[in-house]
């Protein structure tokens, strides 16, 4: 895997994306797990969308997700300057500037949209950032992955108790923390709150706890892939006031609204291939099992 990513890092973005679109096309043409998971997610989140339109969105989702995979080469193989050269526009950058000027810590909430790896490059070029990540199963690959991500200047901490403590310390010290808020947590680490049309979505409590216990500012960031290998845009979005609510469910609903706002920029570029809704309240049925996802 490391060798393949290194090879992909030697080719231009244009060719990397062409390979990714080919992979996405294959995933769409066959009854793959990726296709069927994305189909279930799209049906749940866009229940009123016409069938023809939903199928078109499904196809584009697989093509976009294929490109995200093959772009690992450029994103991890390019230098920071080469990576930054792929960034064309930063929308609502004044929100980021205001956050940097504030003495409080900043919790940067980055959904799996477009190619989120570019966030590391951009933010690290402006200020230090600590990012929580889920370690890979392979120790060798995990060490290499961390080293590649940290070469642009960010610091990575794992999803462990020690990693969480470090995030609290960074925010209390007025620093910046990056967090991927759209992964399904363990049952004890989340609350059920609405996400788009899905009324009960298990949502992580950690962002709420980080904000309440440190007094930090919340800010959303997402990445949009531009057509024809032109590069990428970054979008900033202000957090809903309810993100700071005392009630964890109210805050989780605000978190999910922020994620949905990011998704709306380019719906096909969201990671719909992830099993976001496996756990249902009151021992409800797993929708992916119900749909017979392979």
In whole angstroms, give the CA distance from residue 221 to residue 82. Answer: 21
161-218 pLDDT tens trace: 999 999 999 999 999 999 999 999 999 999 999 999 999 999 999 999 999 999 999 9
**In terms of residue numbers, what domain contains 176?**
2-290
**pLDDT score, position 5:** 85
24-43 pLDDT tens trace: 999 999 999 999 999 999 99
Count of structural domains within the chain: 1
Q: Is the per-residue pLDDT at 70 higher than 90?
A: yes
Residue 204 near residue 190, CB atoms below 8 Å? yes
In whole angstroms, give the CA distance from residue 169 to residue 174. Answer: 9
What is the length of the chain?
A: 294
Q: Is the per-residue pLDDT at 23 higher than 90?
A: yes
Name, in order, each residue with C-beta under 8 angstroms of 49's C-beta and a sequence gap of 6 or more: 42, 57
Q: Is the per-residue pLDDT at 79 higher than 90?
A: no
CA 126 to chain centroid, in Å, comes to 20
205-264 pLDDT tens trace: 999 999 999 999 999 999 999 999 999 999 999 999 999 999 999 999 999 999 999 999
Task: List residues bridging with 235 in a β-sheet.
Answer: 91, 222
Q: Is the per-residue pLDDT at 6 higher than 90?
A: no
């Amino acid at each position: 895997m490391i060798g393949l990513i290194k090879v992909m890092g030697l080719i231009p973005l244009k060719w990397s994306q062409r390979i990714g679109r080919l992979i996405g096309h294959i995933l769409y043409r066959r009854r793959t797990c990726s296709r069927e998971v994305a189909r279930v997610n799209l049906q749940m989140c866009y229940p009123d969308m016409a069938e023809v339109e939903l199928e078109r969105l499904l196809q584009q989702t697989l093509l976009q997700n294929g490109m995200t995979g093959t772009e690992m080469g450029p994103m991890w193989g390019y230098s920071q300057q080469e990576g930054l050269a792929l960034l064309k526009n930063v929308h609502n950058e004044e929100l980021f500037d205001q956050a940097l000027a504030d003495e409080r810590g900043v919790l940067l909430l980055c959904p799996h949209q477009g190619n989120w790896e570019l966030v590391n490059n951009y933010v690290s070029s402006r200020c230090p950032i600590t990012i929580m990540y889920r370690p890979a199963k392979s120790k060798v690959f995990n060490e290499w992955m961390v080293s590649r991500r940290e070469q642009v200047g960010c610091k990575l901490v794992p999803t462990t108790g020690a990693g969480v403590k470090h995030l609290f310390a960074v925010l209390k010290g007025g620093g910046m923390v990056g967090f991927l808020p759209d992964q399904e947590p363990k049952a004890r680490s989340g609350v059920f709150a609405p996400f788009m049309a899905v009324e009960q979505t298990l949502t992580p409590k950690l962002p709420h706890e980080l904000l309440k216990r440190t007094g930090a500012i919340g800010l959303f960031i997402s990445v949009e892939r531009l057509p024809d290998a032109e590069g990428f845009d970054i979008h900033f979005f202000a957090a809903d006031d309810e993100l700071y609510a005392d009630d964890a469910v109210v805050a989780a609903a605000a978190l999910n609204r922020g994620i949905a706002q990011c998704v709306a920029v380019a719906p096909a570029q969201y990671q719909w291939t992830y099993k976001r809704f496996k756990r249902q309240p009151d021992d409800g049925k797993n929708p992916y099992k119900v749909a017979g996802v392979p």
